[in-house]
Amino acid sequence: MKPRILLLASGDGSLVQAIVEAVQSSKIDGEIVGLICDKPGARVIERAKLAGIRVYLIPISTDRKQWEKEILEATTALNPDLVVSAGFMRILASEFVERFKTINSHPSLLPLFPGAHAVKEALLAKVTTTGTTIHWVDSGVDTGKVISQVEIQIAPDDDIATLHERIKIVERSLIVETIIKLLPTLEKRHV
C-alpha cells in the first residue's frame, strides 16, 4: 500500500499542483487521499477537483476550537501518513501536529522571517539572499525542525511580487524532492 498524503492549502494551489503532477507521474510514490481547504473559492479547490482529489472545505469560523475539531476529525478519518501544508495559511492546533506528521513550505530561510510576511520582511531587512524552507510543523509559528532549504539571491529590482514568484519556482521542486525523500522513512499509519 502506498503512503497516504493529505494536502492542506488556502490559495492558488501551485504547490499542490506540483505535488499532484509528481504523484501522477509516479515521481512521488504515494497516494493523495484528500485536500483540506479553509477558503471557499480558492483556486486550489478547482485544481484538486480536476485531478480527481476529494476536497474537504472547512472554513474557519468565529469558533476556533470548533474549526480545529473539524480539521482533526477530517484528518483522522483520512488517516494520512504525511500531511503537507502547501500554502495553508492557518496555524494548526498542537493536538493536530502532535498526532500527524506534518510538513510546511515557507518562503524564507528559517529561522529568518517566520510568519505570513516573510518575503516583505526579507526585502525590508535589505538582505541579499533568501529562499525557501520545508520544515516539520510544531505548535509554534514556523519553528519546527528544518528538513530542507534552497537559497536564492535577491535581485536589486525585486519587489514583493517578483521575489515571491521566484521563490515559488524553487519551492515547488523542493517540496516534491522533500516528499520523495521523506515517504520511505515514515512509519505507516494504516494496515
Is residue 190 over pLDDT 70? no
Backbone region of residue 79 per phi and psi (left: phi > 0; alpha: psi in -120 to 50; beta: other values): left
Catalytic residues: 106
In this structure, of 3-17, 74-88, 93-107, 177-191, the range with the lowest mean pLDDT score is 177-191
Give residue 22's pLDDT. 98
- Work out the number of other CB atoms within 10 angstroms of the CB of residue 42: 20
Is residue 8 over pLDDT 80? yes
Give residue 187's pLDDT. 76
Give residue 191's pLDDT. 44
Is residue 1 over pLDDT 90? no
Q: For strand 55-57 and strand 82-85, is the pairing parallel, antiparallel, or unpaired? A: unpaired
Rounded to two decimals, what is the model's pTM? 0.95
DSSP code of 19?
H
Contact predicate 124/99, CB 8 Å:
no
Instruction: Tell me the helices (H) and strands (E) count for the chain, helix number first.
Output: 6, 7
pLDDT digits (tens, 9 = 90+) for 120-148: 999 999 999 999 999 999 989 999 999 99
Q: Which CATH class is domain 4-185?
A: alpha beta
User: Which three cell numbers, joined as nine digits, stand for 12?
Assistant: 492558488
Contact predicate 94/51, CB 8 Å:
no
Average pLDDT, the chain: 95
Place of cell 525585486: 158
Q: In what order do the strands lie in the sheet with 31-37?
A: 55-57, 31-37, 4-9, 82-85, 102-106, 129-136, 146-153
In this structure, of 19-33, 68-82, 127-141, 175-189, the range with the lowest mean pLDDT score is 175-189
Measured between alpha carbons, how far is 41 from 75 in angstroms, rounded to an integer?
21
Is residue 98 over pLDDT 60? yes
Name the residue ranges covered by the structural domains of the chain: 4-185
DSSP code of 45?
H
**Residue that wins the pLDDT comparison between 120 and 189:** 120
62: confidence class by pLDDT, cuts 50, 70, 90: confident
Backbone angles phi and psi of 153, in degrees to 5: -80, 145
